[in-house]
Amino acid sequence: MELFNVLTVQQARATLQQHLSLQPQTETVPLLQGLNRLLAQDIVALEDVPGFDRSTMDGYAVRARDTFGATEALPAYIDVAGEVMMGEAAKGTLLAGQAWAIPTGGMLPPGADAVVMVEYTEELDSQTIGVTRPVAPGENLVRRGEDVAQGKVVLTAGHRLRPQDLGILAAVGVTEVPVLKPLRVGIISTGNELTAPDQPTEPGKVRDINSYTLYGQVLEAGGQPVLYGIIEDQFASLQQAVAGALAENDMVLISGGSSVGARDVSAKVIETLGNPGVLFHGMAIKPGKPTIGAVVAGKPVLGLPGHPVSAMVVFDLLARPIIAAAGLQKAETAFPLRAALTRNIHSATGRDDYLRVSLRRLTDGSIVADPVLGKSGLISTMVKAAGVAHIPLNKEGVEAGELVDVWLF
C-alpha cells in the first residue's frame, strides 16, 4: 500500500468498521459492579414503581373535592379519621369528608386522591382540621407506576450504566445485570530509544510514556488494557509481539514505528499477520498524520504515532469509539463543548486540526479556549490542556473570538 495515501477521520472510521467482526461477549455481574458497563440486553420492569399511590409531602390524604373553595378566611373543615404509618398499608378506607394524616412517602388510603400539605391546614381539635388552600386531584402524590410501569423497557441493550441507572434497576428489583465484557486491548510500545520508567535514562534514551497514557485511555473508554512492554524496532521481535497480542486480545495498539523511516516496521509486520491487513497508512489530521489503520481476522490493529500527543489524539479519534461500544456496531454519542478561541490559529485546508486548549469562564458566563502551544512530543502540553479544539479540514484557520468545538479529555 502506498504510504500516506491519507484518509479523513470519517473515511478512516468507516474503512475500519467495514472490516471489523468483533463478537461481543456477555457476562452477568452484581448490580453495584455494573457502573459504566454496557447492557447486553433490554431490561423490562416486572412490576410498577412505585407499587402504590404515594404521598410526596407531610400532610393529610383527602378527596380533592372536599377542599374545593377552601380559603384562609373560610377553611374547609374535615374530620381526621386515621393515620398512615410509614412503611405500612392504610388500615381502612378514606370516606367523603375525611382526612388521614400521612407522612412523605406514605401509602395513600383507598378513596384518597390528593394530599394537603400540613402548612395549609389548621388543627381545630384532635379530630378536625381546617384546610386553608384547595388541592387538585393528583396533587402532592406519585401515582402507582408513574415512575416505571410494569412491562415497560427500563433500559435498552447497549446502554452504558450510570449512577441513576443503577438506581432505577434497584427500584425494579434487579440485583444482577447482563453486560458486555470489556474489549481486551493489547498495548505495545516500539522503539530502540525507549526505556522503562523505573530505569535510569542514558544518552539517547527516553522513558516510555505511551504505554501509560494508552493504558489509562483504554480503561477510561471501558476496555481492559494489557501491556506488552517495550519491543525493539526490529521486524522479527515486533512480529512475534504483535502476533502474540492479537491471539490474546480483541484489539492491538502499537505506538511508534508508523512513519516512513527505514526502521519503522509496523506496517510491514501487520501485513504478514493476516487479511485484510493494512487498510490505510496516513490520515489527514494534525497531529497524527502517520497513523496506520489495519484489521487482522476481524480485529482492529492501530499503528499510532510515537509522539505522545499524537498517539493520544489518534486514540480518541479511532480506538475510543470501538472500545466504548465494546464491539457493537453502534458507537456512543458524545457532544463537544462550544468555546471562543482567544487567538488566531492558522490551519491548512484539507486536514482536520486538533488543537490543545485550556478553558476559562469569563465574568459574563461565556467560555473561552486558550491554545496550549507546543510540539506533539511534549506530554506536558496535554497535562495543561482540558481538551482539544477541532478545526475542520475545510477551514484555513480560526480567528480570535470564533467559536470552535472542544472535545474534553
The pLDDT tens digits of the residues spanning 98-125 come to 999 999 999 999 999 999 999 999 999 9
Angle subtended at Cα 23 by Cα 244 and Cα 315, rounded to the nearest 5 degrees: 65
For the entire predicted model, the pTM comes to 0.88
- Asked if the model's pLDDT at residue 4 lies above 80, the reply is no
- pLDDT, tens digit (0-9, with 9 covering 90-100), for 118-156: 999 999 998 999 999 999 999 999 999 999 999 999 999
Instruction: Extract the C-alpha cell encoding 210.
Output: 505511551
- pLDDT, tens digit (0-9, with 9 covering 90-100), for 284-337: 999 999 999 999 999 999 999 999 999 999 999 999 999 999 878 665 667 899
Query: Which amino acid would we find at residue 266?
Result: S
Question: Among 3.40.920.10, 1.10.10.10, 2.170.190.11, 3.20.80.10, what is the CATH number of 54-142?
Answer: 2.170.190.11
For domain 26-49+146-180, give the CATH superfamily: Molybdopterin biosynthesis moea protein, domain 2 (3.90.105.10)
For domain 337-408, give the CATH superfamily: MoeA, C-terminal, domain IV (2.40.340.10)
Query: Which amino acid would we find at residue 393?
Result: L
For domain 9-25+181-324, give the CATH superfamily: MoaB/Mog-like domain (3.40.980.10)
Cα first-last separation, the chain: 33
Closest CA to 126 of 88, 99, 87, 94: 99
CA dist 27 and 89 (Å) reads: 39
Strand partners, 187: 227, 253
Q: What is the mean pLDDT of the chain?
A: 94
Q: Residue 185: enclosing H or E segment and its boundaries?
A: strand 184-190
- What is the reported pLDDT for 328? 80
Domain residue ranges in the chain: 9-25+181-324, 26-49+146-180, 54-142, 337-408
CA dist 106 and 88 (Å) reads: 8
- What is the reported pLDDT for 2? 47
Residue 220's pLDDT band (cuts 50, 70, 90):
very high
327 Cβ contact partners less than 8 Å away, ≥ 6 residues apart: 20, 22, 23, 24, 180, 183, 250
